[in-house]
Chains A and B, each alone.
Chain A
Amino acid sequence: MLPADEFSAFPASPTFSVGDKALDGYSKKKYVCKLLFIFLLGHDIDFGHMEAVNLLSSNRYTEKQIGYLFISVLVNSNSELIRLINNAIKNDLASRNPTFMGLALHCIANVGSREMAEAFAGEIPKILVAGDTMDSVKQSAALCLLRLYRTSPDLVPMGDWTSRVVHLLNDQHLGVVTAATSLITTLAQKNPEEFKTSVSLAVSRLSRIVTSASTDLQDYTYYFVPAPWLSVKLLRLLQCYPPPDPAVRGRLTECLETILNKAQEPPKSKKVQHSNAKNAVLFEAISLIIHHDSEPNLLVRACNQLGQFLQHRETNLRYLALESMCTLASSEFSHEAVKTHIETVTNALKTERDVSVRQRAVDLLYAMCDRSNAQQIVAEMLSYLETADYSIREEIVLKVAILAEKYAVDYTWYVDTILNLIRIAGDYVSEEVWYRVIQIVINRDDVQGYAAKTVFEALQAPACHENLVKVGGYILGEFGNLIAGDPRSSPLIQFNLLHSKFHLCSVPTRALLLSTYIKFVNLFPEVKTTIQDVLRSDSQLKNADVELQQRAVEYLRLSTVASTDILATVLEEMPPFPERESSILAKLKKKKGPSTVTDLEEAKRERSADINGGPEPAPASASATSTPSPSADLLGLGAAPPAPVGPPPSSGGLLVDVFSDSPSAVAPLAPGSEDNFARFVCKNNGVLFENQLLQIGLKSEFRQNLGRMFIFYGNKTSTQFLSFTPTLICSDDLRANLSLQTKPVDPTVDGGAQVQQVVNIECVSDFTEAPVLNIQFRYGGTFQNVSVKLPITLNKFFQPTEMASQDFFQRWKQLSNPQQEVQNIFKAKHPMDTEITKAKIIGFGSALLEEVDPNPANFVGAGIIHTKTTQIGCLLRLEPNLQAQMYRLTLRTSKETVSQRLCELLSEQF
């Protein structure tokens, strides 16, 4: 709302100075300022821009200043005035008047448009590194360049200036250093090599600040904390790089220790500003420690410090502590330490008054969850869900669903949890969640009976959520027969129970229930007539909804004309779903944005999702290649005439030929696959599988935690292979630890031809199982299905390490914890030849260390297993006993599972 006299201050013409020579600079300035004020109050301004632009070229500072302010606040980056503005800026930049240059640089940074980047991105680096530039201008130039780099990185040329910018870290003026550090941090993220030298400079600068007496830095000491902003920025810069060389590293560790020590000192002031500044530095130091993830001591100290903050009376600190702990939970050194705070965190969930803090607590619980505490955490989350804020309910639901699945030891617990989830927060349970529970129930026959019983009981409730009806309908349709023996859940009672919900449900759910009914017709012939009556009723056959009507008509017809055999084939139990990325996880990631998924494993899972042709969420896609329209119908019966749902290829019969393209059960492993697999443990190339039709050859290379495998499929016949589909199958566990990416191959392989498939491999964390390669194709009239184990084993990610005898034994002693050592004594399967044994140890990937073991007959090796998350040092020792024809193999590594797996793999080789 504007006071009337505000407007009366303007001359009559709305374009107040065009052609009006009477307005002097002062008036122009005044009116531009008023317009700006009006704009800030939320009103549109359509005029006056030109006057503001004119003010830019004034020689008077105050006029120029208001002109620039108006432009910065009001001019859109695509304004047509931009050329005039750029011109004025150019003049000011060239003026060598520091005040004018400052104004111009501010304006560029505030507008930050592409046009401005085009015009000035070349000029600003020169100003920045010129020897005679004033400090305040340097500061502005650094940030201005940063701003342009953020908006248009392609327009900022790298060049000689980069090395000179790095040296600004040594500048006398701390303001310049702060601005330069911001700039270098962003540039270094994209061009780490070019700015590598900044690491040692940043460390020495940081060390000077941290160890300085609080008066040394004069004005930059803020409430007794020396240069907190600069410290924070430097610590951020260091987070762009891995831990530095030992020399610099020692100094950095000292700094970090000092910062941690200072946190324990009594505060020098009671003011909140003092503790804020101190803790800002502390949190950044902790982030750096977590980022480096290499100093167990510091990590544990950081964790303890955060633990103290979890109970601090300052809400801000509790919030930040929860947030930092989330990242700490993914480090192997501190995961256990983080877990000790579970009580505090669950307590925070109940008592925190602030939703932001509660949200962080949920995130942390999610991050610290593992098999040991999953039941407790899931229970806490479920109970919190009853009172949770609406804004975060859906996310909690997803998290509970994921944790319940990931850490389910007992799938009855999983089913209970998800049904509880639907009961407590049905509205927030997205499709993905209940799709997933069905996928899991279908794939695990041990839980099917329990699931049927539980949903049946849950459906008894007078008011149950529609999602429960969907799950209930689907599961009873598949497995209702498992509980039909009990007279309390006889077929008719099951049907009546479901049908009592029918009229309250939405169309997609009703469609699903109709499919359940037709499945009942197959499962329970005794209720066939009841169901036919229902299908025949007007409300079904003449339903206004086309989908429902069509289903009713077709199902009714199917139930009347088809023989029991055909019905049984058509309505057979759903085949297992192919293992794929949990659709819930995909949903959570979409919701939270990729940057916030803290769980490392998940990030890896995402990449591995490609294997199965992308994360299509609906299980419908797994069963119904022939369904043209995606509907909520899980049976894949869709709008098309009832089609057989993925009959297993072995069942034979007429329909199979027509639909044999649909994904089907995986063949058991080919004979000899295990032996072939073992041969590849110590070598990378060779023939993996061969029969009369097909030969599979492998060629692979590995470096650190990455690898690439070329799979060659040779058609040994003279006839084409059709529908040739190789699929990589990983269990859920494996997929979390090993990421495989590949592209589908051409579905036809000509006679005598060879096709090649490349698999990109990333080892995320150590793993035990091996992926299975399943190949399905049609040869002549027959369907072929071959499965072999793909030899991607943990030892492929070995890097040999040479070390002297002394080192070796020192390390050997360090790994003396009983869990770290695994030993196996076994009988030799091959002749005991020293040279072959040596070759095998080298082929296994570790270095073969000569003259280390006092007994020359023994073999010792050392190496590092590289995974994405961590590196694991491994030592091994093999003692042959020629007389007994036995070996004793000892593995010591920092991780129990690794020792275990390597020992298994290597034992098979001798």
Chain B
Amino acid sequence: MRASAPRTRARPQPGAGRGRAGGAGKAAARGLSGARRARGTRAARGPAGGSAGARRDTCSVPATAMAQLTARFRTENRRFAVEDVPFSVPATSETTDLSHLINKLLAAAHEDHKYVEFDFLINGQFLRLPLVTHMEMENISTEEVVEIEYVEKYMAPQPEECIFHDDWISSVQATEEWILTGCYDQTARIWSVEGKSITTIAGHTEVVKDVAWVKQDSLSCLLLSASMDQTVLLWEWNMEKNKVKALHCCRGHAGSVESVAVDCTRTKFCSGSWDKMLKIWSAVPTDEEDEMEEAANRPRKKQKTEQLGLTRTPLATLSGHTEAISSVLWTDAEEICSASWDHTIKLWDADTGDLKSTLTGNKVFNSVSYSPLCRRLASGSTDRHIRLWDPRSKDGSLVLLSLTSHTGWVTSVKWSPTHEHQLISGSLDNIVKLWDTRSCKAPLYDLAAHEDKVLCVDWAEAGLLLSGGADNKLYCYRYPATASDVGA
């Protein structure tokens, strides 16, 4: 049993250990058996300690291996724990080599072990390069024992469905069974997760900019659609009859409504608009119609409300942004977060309507997302970066991390609902990227299916990644968080 595949050529690694690299290279060149190691020969062969003798031959490194590094492996997952002793691994190992090593150790420990691909983290950074190269780049000393954390490798998202629309897809939100999309053809559509068209919701007179599920009962669903026609419509979808009825027409915005978000109690929602206002509305359907203040435009509006359900006016209006609001969300039951074109993200108290804090960037924000798991905000902006913010810190650098790989505006970001480190982002460069915040240099996966601008992404709880764009296609990916989750 070998810890790593033998290399065809010994490349001396600079800084890979005094006197070891050269000696090993020579040994490899001459084909000597047993490269001389300056120290830690025992550790190099296996776990030092009582059981070392038994394992010595089992995980010995091939004789032609070059410079060695001493590494200690640990994992959060108890199932895959290995003995906490330093191992010596070839300096040029990559993740596959290390994965082999761990698997062999596990197989030696448990008979029923099945092969699992692992991914490796050094100081919270994913290993993507050969070990020694990574450590040189990260300025980690190769002389000391390296702490390597390993996690199950995230499987690539599996493409499932490609749902064709008639026009650009401006927004998407999915539940476990249904997908709701907003479209530039002034409709919203409901699809099953298998890609079957359930119904089309028509009623807006302009482009639908955002959609949201309010709640789902056994028989009916409440959902919202925000449009460029300055209204938000609250719909009731009767699943049995597959009928959609507009319950309320939320009027009050004086510009295109760019974003809606429903709070966790499912009784309120907020909307952000191009008119710089943030409005909070009730999401509870009633039979009463709110009075509109503008008497002058009454006849025209009246005509529309007859068609589109009862008029509803906002519970509160929060003003403070100096430019259009591009994205809103609830961070918890009382807090609203809004991202704007005026280069700020503002946090509001939903009860009192007070501005709690302002996070100032220097570029237009297109999208914002909040993860309750890691309590971080992720923002996508026009300078092609995704930035992570700590909304609670009041001092110091507010930006915790910048994820830079997109080459166009980041139009949409979404945290994983189940994983505290992962998020997806869609960009005008036609690519959807899946990120792990522990590897901020490069995304985990690039999903390059779209042929035009990506306008919206969503991550459903069931592990479904959705992205819609200007190529009229909605792509669905099945993304199991880990291999073990698939089995579970």
Q: Determine if chain A interacts with chain B.
A: no
Interface residues of chain A, those whose CB is within 8 Å of chain B, are none
| Chain B contacts to A: CB under 8 angstroms | none
